[in-house]
């Protein structure tokens, strides 16, 4: 009986996923067996019947994307990758969670082929999928032509109870519903068990109703019923105007003695329970990692199918290339992650001493100069375009093409198209979803995504920034209003610790330009960086600095702006808005016969990649007295100033008042900088004289106080 | 005609709020006039007819709480505080957003009486209100007695479109709905205008339906219709089992020429528009800050009413005191923020060399020893109780008393009551809502709240941690699984930068105890600290350290654990799990004739409050060679090691593998620590010898590399 055979084969295939997963967890004696046991049926249906992918070319641009948002269920994904023929040897499953293996505890982008994004921190994968669907919709709208559908794929995900509880997922779901991302389909593994117990102890909302309120299509099914999964996936694929959430009721730890308990969520079953589970699944107890040949053959069908699908696409792409060579060339370059030639031909320059300009405004002018030349540069802000200066005029609004549910605002504010071909993304007051979507867009490829908000609110998307850095994603974060100079909005809106706390994140390149011209270099760094970049910009106008004495540029991360001749008495190291302050302090010191050098250090990460000799040349020989000048926490600055160094910074929260008054109140005056340098040089009398001319407060002193320890 | 007069007086009162607000914004030439203009009618009804408060005693414990979550509308609150008679002089309204005024750009706890919490970062106030309602429900359940209802107040809030879009509000709303917090009533100022435009460009969900799905009572009204506001508030107060969201449709900038535009959201109207607005409101153009006597008298009625209400409560409290002296005394002490005598009588001690114990487990035993003595210590984890060891066995579960919507889990996991008198709060996988609720509980007073999760996920609640620090709230955050020793879960779950990035937050006291005994001290610090504390704990077992050579304790923030005699050749400064490593390295160095001192530095903030002489004594004289040993980023450590210092740390992300292997891989071995010290002392040959016995990687080298600059 064919049906019977199919059914038994299907069951064997599903149980292959289950037993591979529990064997690997048991061998590692660490991991999460519960989710793979419960989610195996829906994963089997999705991966063998719906997911369009090619295990032989994991980078096929038009593949469907799959995100395992509950990354703790990583063995489910690793099992699927091995079974469907990705270059992930069975031996690597046996090395699950071992140092240097391709199978770390949570999926990591770049470790095993087929892993689309790094997941584990709950809710992030949910948001990444939204970003992938945005990238797909944009590329399809921009590059497809009548009879030439080159970009057309779905984004699938398996999300967990924990994902659904996270705010980043809530924000992302609201955004996806607003945008009507119909090709986004999530299977919600609704096992109602979390690490601490049944989710009901903290989570009793009506999830489908919530998602319907957000504009999603939903369906609730029995996740063990493969036919129900098929029907639900068919239905979701037929729904083009709304993202889909398939609430798939599963049994965590299915088949194991610990089924339906939180004990099976995050701990190995133990040899006894593994045995009992295999018995319950009518599975041979030995060998471990056993997969029946016919089950393996069923999964490996993905290779042939994937090759065929990709070849069919390739031939269509060649027709497209013939019919639309320009668009095709543009798309090929974008997918390769290359910038168009001449992208930087018209970047602005400003004359020294010209009209002072906020770096956020200089950034706006820089973006305006390159965005027409980089057609796949897309992004926006968390509801702050007018303040972050990140709107691209004429590039249109990324919105659902079938008309906005709110008819009152059919007009795009920025001009240009209103649809998926719009390049200005309105993320809403959803910083975390923005960060997570930007990462998803970067992981999808073909676009260069950015997100913008105030620097102080980088805290709201910090988990996404961390994952961008960890995953080496080309995500660009634009953070404006970068110091206490924000002024009247007060300490809740004045970043003090954010620059230094972002500097603690490995792999993240931070650039805080000192003026309009350095801002252009900041964008050069961001756009040519293969990884994640944070560009930190001022709200207030800054002088256009005189570069006649400069021995380098911001592109080197740090350079001598003034006073390069010989060995100076003191080196003033500034970033961003405080470089101008250092320049003015240098003049004041000169009046007192002290030769100061001013170093602009917009990017520690870039500077640290320079040769040691260059760094010594810039910072001066060891033991050179150095003063850091940055309107932020002084913690960490001793890295460049050394023990004999001093700091002008702020180690308290800010205050509400006019920006200039706040800066003076906290000691950001040329007098205080000069006095700090003079004290460092032992010229306390001179320092006192100068201090008397200064209305500043004691921030500088406090900073110096730090040095008492060394 | 009384009605007509009432109506005109009502209108005058409402317009007094409006004109005070726009005059103050205009005088500051900075601020947000739109929200006060639109929200004035509902604010008028709430503050004059519903809010039970006493302007003459802003700290009356049983007052209703009011949270202005959209803190950018601060002038609305300042106007109400002045008008109803709080000690906020009109002159301070004229100093809006000026340095040192009582009226900063966003409301700051402690600046003006009647400001219950610091708001501005969107969504936080929403979450704070949930925490306040939790605190009220707990105190009422624990201390009220039949015929003695001592604690019984509502928590009101005005929330904005931006608040509603934030993930922290989504998490908080789901939690509040689950808990059935019926005394929580939010007026949603639904003006559909945000900073960047109409909210419809990014926000088109069905908000009432979403909140109904979360278990809220909702009602949509015309926010300009005061009778509709009255009816909705009456209805909300009559709803006891569900929190209420009153979607109040308002017109941002009502009465001004810029009404219903985003231009009126965040910029002063300008003199012309102020004039036009006053004309439209039929208001005298001069003087500015004009309030009609009868309108002022109407508002000032709050003083009499407040006094009367408080006196009535006071007399009831005295009856309670007579009938239940023990409970009353306990409540009085709790409201005063004092710890019960003898709270620390039974804190555990561990013998040196005893069975190694993870500090998270030592923390669990410490909590078990004091929680029965501190009846108002309440809190829980973001779904990680079994891992964070923060469950209080027998203290019950904080849950809605009318039965959990999920009948399958009526049993509390931890024993004890299941209701509002339970002390274990199950926050769900909602770290941000947890942080925000903990802050709200702390701001409410009467309870000592804590929240717990893994250290790496402190990033998820960082904005709440920042506000706790900024507001000097006694919020306790417990962060476990504190380093790459987490192991198998891999880099997504291994904190590397978190300790240092938390150290950059002003006012936050961080404690990372080295062993079980230091963990007890960490809790002493947290419970006696008037501000916010983060306790950082290990997942893995740590040796119980030998204190025979110790010259102090963790209560001093830092102390000499071993090698206090004379001036050592080198000082090894460790925190947490790395102190044990330093001790072992000291032994190794002794074998090679090098005298090393081991300093345990669990809390930088506490150590920095010690006298300079003590700090010098501990760290050794200036120029002493020092090595920091911490399994985290080395950035910032030069603060204590100085220029001649070296670091054993990790400046990259971690890796997935067994914890011990991961530690060794990144160089956290006694050999690497000893070798780093020897290199620092110029004994490179010895260092090489020792290195050869070590399987470690290069983290230590990298860290030393940092020193190249100084």
Q: What is the pLDDT of residues A226-250, one digit of tens each?
A: 999 999 999 999 999 999 999 999 9
A200 — pLDDT class (breaks 50, 70, 90): confident
Residue B699 above 50 pLDDT? Answer: no
To test the contact with chain A by mutation, choose from B28, B125, B177, B204 the residue with the greatest count of A C-beta atoms within 10 A, namely: B204
A432 touching B (Cβ < 8 Å): yes
Closest chain A residue by Cα to residue B489: A105
B65/B51 Cα distance (integer angstroms): 8
Q: Is B431 a catalytic residue?
A: yes
Q: How many CB atoms lie within 10 A of CB A408?
A: 10
Is residue B613 classed exposed, middle or buried when 0-12, 13-18 and 19+ CB atoms within 10 A define those classes?
Answer: exposed
pLDDT of residue A709: 38
B699/B696 Cα distance (integer angstroms): 8
A111/A124 Cα distance (integer angstroms): 18
**Residue A429 to residue B501, Cβ atoms within 8 A:** no
Q: What is residue B360's three-state secondary structure?
A: helix
Look up residue A339 and give its two tokens.
């910038």
Using CB atoms, pick whichever of B30, B456, B504 lies closest to residue A635. Answer: B504
Using CB atoms, pick whichever of A427, A463, A708 lies closest to residue B459. Answer: A463
Residues 6+ positions from A338 with CB-CB distance below 8 Å: none
A470 touching B (Cβ < 8 Å): yes
Residue A3 above 50 pLDDT? Answer: no
Residues 6+ positions from A362 with CB-CB distance below 8 Å: A348, A350, A513, A515, A516, A517, A519, A520, A537
Q: What is the mean pLDDT of residues B577-593?
A: 97
pLDDT tens digits along A656-665:
999 999 999 9
A236/A472 Cα distance (integer angstroms): 32
B262 — pLDDT class (breaks 50, 70, 90): confident
Q: What is the mean pLDDT of residues A10-34?
A: 96
A239 — phi, psi (to 5°)? -90, 110
B707 — pLDDT class (breaks 50, 70, 90): very low
Residues 6+ positions from A559 with CB-CB distance below 8 Å: A550, A551, A552, A553, A599, A600, A618
For residue B299, give the nearest of B94, B90, B97, B111 by alpha carbon.
B90
B308/B315 Cα distance (integer angstroms): 11
Look up residue B275 and give its two tokens.
């004039």
Say which residue the tokens 């011990």 belong to: B660
pLDDT tens digits along B128-146:
999 999 999 999 999 999 9
B423/A37 Cα distance (integer angstroms): 34
Instruction: For residue A619, list chain B residues with Cβ-Cβ distance below 8 A.
Output: 709
Q: H or E element: which one contains A603?
A: none
Q: What is residue A414's three-state secondary structure?
A: coil
Instruction: For residue A268, list chain B residues with Cβ-Cβ distance below 8 A.
Output: none
B694 — pLDDT class (breaks 50, 70, 90): low
To test the contact with chain A by mutation, choose from B68, B97, B120, B166 the residue with the greatest count of A C-beta atoms within 10 A, namely: B166
Using CB atoms, pick whichever of A108, A383, A652 lies closest to residue B194. Answer: A383
- From B431, B580, B702, B704, the catalytic residue: B431
Of A92-106, A319-333, A334-348, B195-209, the one with minimum mean pLDDT is B195-209
pLDDT tens digits along B290-314:
999 999 999 999 999 999 999 999 9
In angstroms, what CA-CA distances link B604 with A147, A644, B526, B574? Answer: 66, 21, 14, 11
For residue A674, give the nearest of A636, A632, A627, A608 by alpha carbon.
A627
Of A402-406, A540-544, A705-709, B393-397, the one with minimum mean pLDDT is A705-709
Instruction: For residue A381, list chain B residues with Cβ-Cβ distance below 8 A.
Output: 196
**Residue B657 to residue A98, Cβ atoms within 8 A:** yes
Q: H or E element: which one contains A219?
A: strand A217-222
In Å, how far from its chain's centre is CA B380?
14
Choice between B6 and A148, residue whose per-residue pLDDT is larger: A148
In angstroms, what CA-CA distances link B427 with A194, B127, B175, B179, B216? Answer: 12, 12, 7, 10, 17
Q: What is the mean pLDDT of residues B152-163?
A: 97
Closest chain B residue by Cα to residue A261: B409
∠ Cα B125 B128 B129 (to 5°): 90
Q: What is residue A62's three-state secondary structure?
A: coil
**Residue B635 to residue A639, Cβ atoms within 8 A:** yes
B122 touching A (Cβ < 8 Å): yes
Look up residue A132 and give its two tokens.
């992938």
A287 upstream amide cis, omega within 30 of 0: yes
**Residue B165 to residue A177, Cβ atoms within 8 A:** no
Say if residues B138 and B51 touch (Cβ distance below 8 Å): no
Q: What is residue B640's three-state secondary structure?
A: helix
B264 — pLDDT class (breaks 50, 70, 90): confident
pLDDT of residue B205: 95
In Å, how far from its chain's centre is CA B483?
23
In angstroms, what CA-CA distances link B139 with A72, A204, B526? Answer: 38, 24, 22
C-alpha dihedral, B541 to B544 to B549 to B555, nearest 10°: 80
- From A166, A431, A518, A702, the catalytic residue: A431
pLDDT of residue B406: 57
Look up residue A201 and give its two tokens.
């102890």
B425/B450 Cα distance (integer angstroms): 9
pLDDT of residue A692: 77
Tabulate helix, strand, coil % of chain B (nearest 5): 45, 15, 40
B200 touching A (Cβ < 8 Å): yes
∠ Cα B543 B547 B549 (to 5°): 130
Q: H or E element: which one contains B175?
A: helix B167-179
A477 — phi, psi (to 5°)? -110, 125
Instruction: For residue B631, list chain A residues with Cβ-Cβ distance below 8 A.
Output: none
B421/B412 Cα distance (integer angstroms): 13
Look up residue A305 and give its two tokens.
């199918």
A613 touching B (Cβ < 8 Å): no
B573/B417 Cα distance (integer angstroms): 46
Secondary structure of A257-285 as H, E, C letters: CCCCCHHHCCCCCCHHHHHHHHHHCCCCC
Instruction: For residue A205, list chain B residues with Cβ-Cβ distance below 8 A.
Output: 174, 177-178, 213-215
B346 — phi, psi (to 5°)? -110, 25
**Residue A406 to residue B204, Cβ atoms within 8 A:** yes
DSSP B430-451: -HHHHHHHHHHHHHH-SSEEEE
pLDDT tens digits along B484-516:
999 999 999 999 999 999 999 999 999 999 999
For residue B710, give the nearest of A646, A454, A619 by alpha carbon.
A619
For residue A70, give the nearest of A179, A172, A191 by alpha carbon.
A191
pLDDT tens digits along B414-444:
788 899 999 999 999 999 999 999 999 999 9
Residue A554 DSSP one-character state = G
B195 touching A (Cβ < 8 Å): yes
Count of all residues that appear for chain B in the document: 710
Using CB atoms, pick whichever of B387, B426, B645 lies closest to residue A201. Answer: B426
Instruction: For residue A460, list chain B residues with Cβ-Cβ distance below 8 A.
Output: 121, 166, 463
A263 — pLDDT class (breaks 50, 70, 90): confident
Q: What is the mean pLDDT of residues A476-483?
A: 98
Q: What is the mean pLDDT of residues A508-536?
A: 98
B497 touching A (Cβ < 8 Å): yes
In angstroms, what CA-CA distances link B263 with B121, B195, B256, B566, B610? Answer: 20, 8, 11, 68, 51
pLDDT tens digits along B608-645:
999 999 999 999 998 899 999 999 999 999 999 986 79
To test the contact with chain A by mutation, choose from B405, B492, B498 the residue with the greatest count of A C-beta atoms within 10 A, namely: B492
To test the contact with chain A by mutation, choose from B245, B489, B503, B696 the residue with the greatest count of A C-beta atoms within 10 A, namely: B489
Using CB atoms, pick whichever of B108, B490, B501 lies closest to residue A106. Answer: B490
Q: Number of Cβ pairs closer than 8 Å across A and B?
A: 416
Q: What is the mean pLDDT of residues B545-561?
A: 97
**Residue A178 to residue B204, Cβ atoms within 8 A:** yes
Interface of B with A in 51-80 (CB under 8 A): 71
A186 — phi, psi (to 5°)? -110, 130
B6/B367 Cα distance (integer angstroms): 57
Interface of A with B in 124-183 (CB under 8 A): 161-162, 165-171, 174-175, 177-178
A4 — pLDDT class (breaks 50, 70, 90): very low
Say if residues A97 and A46 touch (Cβ distance below 8 Å): no
Is residue A105 classed exposed, middle or buried when 0-12, 13-18 and 19+ CB atoms within 10 A define those classes?
Answer: buried
Q: What is the mean pLDDT of residues A401-422?
A: 73
In Å, how far from its chain's centre is CA B41?
31
Q: What is the mean pLDDT of residues A187-192?
A: 91
A491/B104 Cα distance (integer angstroms): 9
Instruction: For residue A104, list chain B residues with Cβ-Cβ distance below 8 A.
Output: 490-491, 655-656
**Residue B105 to residue A656, Cβ atoms within 8 A:** yes
Closest chain B residue by Cα to residue A637: B636
For residue B345, give the nearest of B512, B535, B520, B477 by alpha carbon.
B520
In angstroms, what CA-CA distances link B651 with A120, A292, A311, B225, B581? Answer: 21, 45, 44, 59, 18
The domains found in chain B, sorted by start residue, are 9-305 (3.40.50.970), 357-542 (3.40.50.970), 554-691 (3.40.50.920)
Q: H or E element: which one contains B119?
A: none
Q: What is the mean pLDDT of residues B371-378?
A: 98
Q: How many CB atoms lie within 10 A of CB A611?
A: 8
pLDDT of residue A694: 60
pLDDT tens digits along A432-449:
999 999 999 999 999 999
pLDDT tens digits along B37-65:
999 999 999 999 999 999 999 999 999 99
A95 — pLDDT class (breaks 50, 70, 90): very high
Interface of B with A in 392-431 (CB under 8 A): 397, 399, 404-406, 408-409, 413, 426-430
């Amino acid at each position: 009986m064919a049906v019977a055979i199919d059914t038994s084969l299907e069951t064997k295939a599903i149980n292959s996923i289950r037993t591979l997963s529990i064997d690997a967890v048991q061998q590692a004696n660490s991991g999460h067996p519960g989710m793979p046991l419960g989610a195996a049926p829906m994963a089997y249906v999705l991966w063998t019947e719906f997911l369009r992918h090619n295990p032989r070319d994991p980078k096929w641009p038009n593949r469907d994307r799959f995100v395992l948002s509950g990354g703790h269920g990583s063995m489910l994904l690793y099992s699927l990758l091995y079974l469907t023929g990705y270059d992930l040897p069975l031996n690597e499953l046996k090395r699950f969670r071992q140092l240097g293996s391709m199978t770390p505890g949570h999926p990591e982008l770049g470790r095993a082929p087929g892993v689309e994004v790094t997941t584990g921190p709950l809710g992030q994968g949910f948001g990444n999928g939204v970003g992938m669907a945005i990238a797909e919709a944009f590329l399809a709208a921009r590059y497809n032509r009548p009879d030439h559908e080159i970009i057309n794929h779905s984004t699938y995900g398996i999300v967990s109870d924990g994902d659904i509880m996270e705010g980043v997922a809530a924000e992302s779901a609201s955004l996806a519903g607003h945008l009507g991302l119909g090709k986004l389909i999530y299977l919600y593994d609704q096992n109602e068990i979390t690490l601490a117990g049944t989710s009901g102890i903290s989570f009793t909302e009506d999830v489908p109703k919530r998602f319907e309120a957000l504009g999603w299509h939903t369906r609730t099914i029995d996740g063990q019923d493969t036919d129900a999964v098929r029907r639900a996936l068919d239905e979701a694929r037929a729904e083009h105007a709304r993202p889909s959430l398939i609430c798939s009721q599963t049994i965590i730890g299915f088949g194991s003695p610990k089924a339906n308990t939180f004990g099976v969520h995050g701990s190995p079953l133990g040899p006894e329970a593994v045995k009992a589970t295999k018995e319950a699944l009518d599975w041979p107890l030995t060998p471990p990692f056993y997969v029946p040949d016919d089950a393996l053959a069923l999964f490996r069908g993905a290779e042939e199918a994937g090759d065929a699908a990709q070849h069919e696409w390739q031939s269509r792409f060649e027709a497209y290339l013939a019919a639309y060579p320009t668009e095709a060339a543009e798309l090929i370059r974008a997918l390769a992650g290359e910038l168009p030639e001449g992208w930087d031909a018209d970047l602005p320059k400003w004359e020294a001493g010209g009209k002072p300009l906020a770096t956020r405004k200089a950034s706006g002018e820089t973006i305006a100069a390159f965005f027409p030349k980089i057609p796949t540069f897309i992004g926006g802000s968390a509801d702050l375009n007018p303040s972050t200066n990140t709107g691209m005029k004429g590039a249109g609004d990324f919105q659902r093409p079938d008309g906005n549910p709110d008819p009152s605002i059919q007009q795009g504010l920025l001009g240009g198209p209103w649809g998926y071909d719009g390049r200005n993304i309105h993320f809403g007051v959803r910083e975390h979803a923005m960060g997570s979507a930007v990462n998803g867009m970067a992981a999808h490829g073909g676009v260069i995504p950015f997100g913008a908000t105030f620097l102080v609110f980088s805290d709201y998307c910090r988990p996404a920034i961390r994952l961008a850095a960890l995953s080496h994603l080309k995500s660009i974060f634009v953070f404006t209003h970068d110091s206490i100079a924000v002024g009247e909005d007060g300490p809740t809106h004045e970043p003090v610790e954010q620059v230094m706390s972002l500097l603690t994140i490995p792999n993240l390149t931070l650039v805080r330009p000192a003026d309009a011209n350095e801002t252009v270099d900041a964008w050069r760094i961001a756009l040519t960086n293969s990884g994640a970049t944070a560009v930190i910009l001022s709200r207030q106008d800054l002088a256009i600095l005189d570069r006649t004495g400069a021995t380098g540029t911001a592109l080197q991360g740090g350079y001598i702006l003034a006073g390069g001749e010989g060995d100076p008495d003191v080196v003033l190291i500034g970033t961003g808005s405080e470089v101008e302050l250092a320049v003015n302090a240098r003049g004041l010191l000169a009046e007192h016969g002290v030769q100061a050098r001013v170093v602009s250090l917009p990017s520690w990460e870039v500077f640290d990649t320079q040769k040691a000799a260059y760094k010594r040349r810039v910072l001066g020989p060891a033991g050179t007295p150095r003063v850091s000048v940055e309107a932020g926490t002084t913690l960490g600055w001793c890295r460049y100033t050394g023990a004999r160094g001093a700091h002008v910074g702020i180690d308290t929260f800010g205050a509400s008042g006019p920006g200039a008054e706040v800066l003076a109140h906290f000691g950001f005056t040329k007098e205080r900088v000069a006095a700090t340098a003079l004290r460092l040089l032992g010229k306390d009398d001179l320092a006192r004289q100068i201090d008397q001319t200064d209305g500043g407060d004691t921030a500088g002193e406090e900073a110096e106080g730090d040095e008492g320890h060394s």
